[in-house]
Chains A and B, each alone.
Chain A
Amino acid sequence: MTPGTSDDVLIRVEGVHFARAGRPVFDGLDLTVRRGRVVAIMGPSGTGKTTLLRLIGGQLRPDRGRVMVDGQEVARLGRGDLFRLRERMGVLFQSGALLTDLSVYDNVAFPLREHTDLPEALIRDLVLMKLESVGLRGARDLMPAELSGGMARRVALARAIALDPLLVLYDEPFTGQDPISMGVLVRLIRRLNDAMGLTSVVVSHDVEETAAIADDIYVISGGKVVEQGSRDELAASTSPWVRQFMRGEPDGPVPFHYPAPDLADDLLGGEGA
């Protein structure tokens, strides 16, 4: 992977330390996301992948280090500047986070109505185009409660791209999806990225699906990047940890057992003994 020039880089995470409730989540995290790429951040549950998205979106501030997005240090932005940056950022939450009192149409129109003074006729055209791009133009009158999980996530995706953002952040987009909607989402993320000239950051632990569409992959563990590269480079990695993770082996450097005293001692030394 060639290190990008400064203009080419959209997100730069430099030496980020972050602790929550006294427990370190990141311990000197470095990564860069170049414009126009689909970048996957992978790692086991609990490695702080969602925390990383919150740091990029400015919902959290790093204890040390910097998170730069489009040349601006996110943690130093005032509320007004942060909101202006977020207008150019789409976020797909794990839950979809659709507004339950609004229809599908109004959900997608929500950011347009909040941030633009466009006439309603133009908003209608834009909303229908965004819904068409995720294949749900026909579902415009449904309420969020009437949607399946996969459809809800596609509506949330249409809403995330409503303002034609620079960057879309996906938080575990494939979790809990059946194989068909998973395949739909995988292809959508890639297609939207290329068709709209976006940059996409996909946080996931679904190795196969994510690796299939990612240009660059970062594997995080223990608060640091343990491996980075393309799908093929990761597949050829000699690190036993990465091999265990990419192949989904139950035992290896990440042990199957939570640390415990010896089984025989435990069984014989119980209170009843």
Chain B
Amino acid sequence: MNDGLAALGRWGLGVFQRLGRGHLFLAHVLAGLPTLLPRPGLVIAQLHAVGVLSLVIIVVSGLFVGMVLGLQGYNTLVDFGAEESLGVVVALSLVRELGPVVSALLFAGRAGSALTAEIGLMKATEQLAGMEMMAVDPLQRVIGPRFLAGFLAMPLLAAIFSAVGVFGGYFVGVGLLGVDDGAFWSQMQAKVDLHEDVYNGVIKSVVFGFVAAWIAVFEGYDAPPTAEGVSRATTRTVVHTALAVLGLDFVLTALMFGE
């Protein structure tokens, strides 16, 4: 009984210690970001690595998610004779929910895990310690550009995901199932609100980008410098990002759309 309590206490303390380290780490990284202003090349290189190289998985997934939405939406709507609203259903689902959430989950699997593994291995091979001894702060030189790139790339990827998804829905609904072309677009234009829907979706993806990039770089930096430590950190990045994104999605949705 006592042993169980002690173990629970140790676990709890460990969790709070990590949370504390994570927030101090974030504060240091954010404080160091202004040093990147004169050196945009560092951020651009990382934007390429985490953003551009994630495009294939984002575009392909967005297309299929949009096509499935078109198919499912049509089958339901057609029973009510409302299949002309398909464009609204597809666009709202993507812009409000699936765009930010699914692209954040894909981002964690594609770019977040890579960031964690890269930083963790740099630590394990003494590259970060070497930089410190060369009087270069790795938080500014290595972590900062990667964090910023992840944060900036995420909303753009979510927007691309949603845009491609709408075309996927259009292809299935209009192209294959015969929904009226004009109705598809005009209903979407009439019912999707820039402030209510699009802006809120963008806010979600900005928040998810911040959290996903933070978790990825922190897990790498905090990883024990061993093969096992880096492997566990990479797994934790994907799991924690997924949980954080889904949990935050509920909170944000409740704040934005809950009356």
A94 to B130, CA, bound (A): 11
Residues of A contacting B136 in the complex (Cβ-Cβ under 8 angstroms): 110-111, 114-115
Majority SS of interface residues in chain B?
helix
Q: How far is the CA of A64 from the CA of B133 in the complex (A)?
A: 23
- Cβ B134 vs Cβ A95 within 8 A: no
Are the C-beta atoms of B132 and A97 separated by less than 8 Å?
Answer: no
Q: What residues of A have a CB within 8 angstroms of the CB of B127 in the complex?
A: 97-100
CB distance A87 to B135 under 8 Å? yes
Contact among A84, A86, A99 with B133 in the assembled complex (CB-CB below 8 Å): A86
* Residue A59 is within 8 A (CB to CB) of chain B in the complex: yes
CA distance A59 to B133 in the complex (A): 8
Q: Which residues of chain B from 117 to 170 have any CB-CB distance to chain A below 8 Å in the complex?
A: 122, 125-127, 129-137, 141
Are A57 and B133 in touch, CB under 8 angstroms? Answer: yes
Assess whether A97 is in contact with B135, with CB atoms less than 8 Å apart. no
Instruction: Say whether B125 contacts A97, CB under 8 Å.
Output: yes
How many chain B residues touch A (CB < 8 A): the figure is 14
Q: How far is the CB of B71 from chain A (nearest CB, A)?
A: 44
CA distance A93 to B122 in the complex (A): 14
Whether A100 lies near B125 (C-beta < 8 A) is yes
Chain A 241-255: CB-based contact to B (< 8 A → 1; otherwise 0): 000000000000000
Cβ-defined contact, B133 with A111, below 8 A: no
Q: Are A86 and B135 in contact, CB atoms less than 8 angstroms apart?
A: yes
Asked whether B135 lies within 8 Å of A91 as measured between CB atoms, the reply is: no
Q: Are B133 and A89 in contact (CB under 8 A)?
A: yes
CB distance from B246 to the nearest CB of A (A): 33
Q: Assess the A111–B130 pair: CB atoms within 8 A.
A: no
A86 partner residues in chain B, CB cutoff 8 A: 132-135
Select one of A59, A100, A114 contacting B134, CB under 8 A: A114
Cα(A84)–Cα(B134), bound, Å: 10
Interface residues of A in 59-100 (CB under 8 A from B): 59, 83-84, 86-87, 89, 91, 93-95, 97-100
Q: Which are the 10 A-B pairs with shortest beta-carbon distances?
A: A97-B130, A86-B135, A83-B135, A97-B126, A91-B133, A87-B135, A114-B136, A111-B134, A95-B126, A93-B126
B residues with a Cβ closer than 8 A to A are: 122, 125-127, 129-137, 141
- Give me 9 A-to-B residue pairs in the complex whose CB atoms sit less than 8 angstroms apart, sorted by A's number: A59-B132, A83-B135, A89-B133, A93-B133, A98-B130, A100-B125, A114-B136, A115-B135, A115-B136
Chain A interfacial positions (CB closer than 8 Å to B) = 57, 59, 83-84, 86-87, 89, 91, 93-95, 97-100, 110-111, 114-115, 159
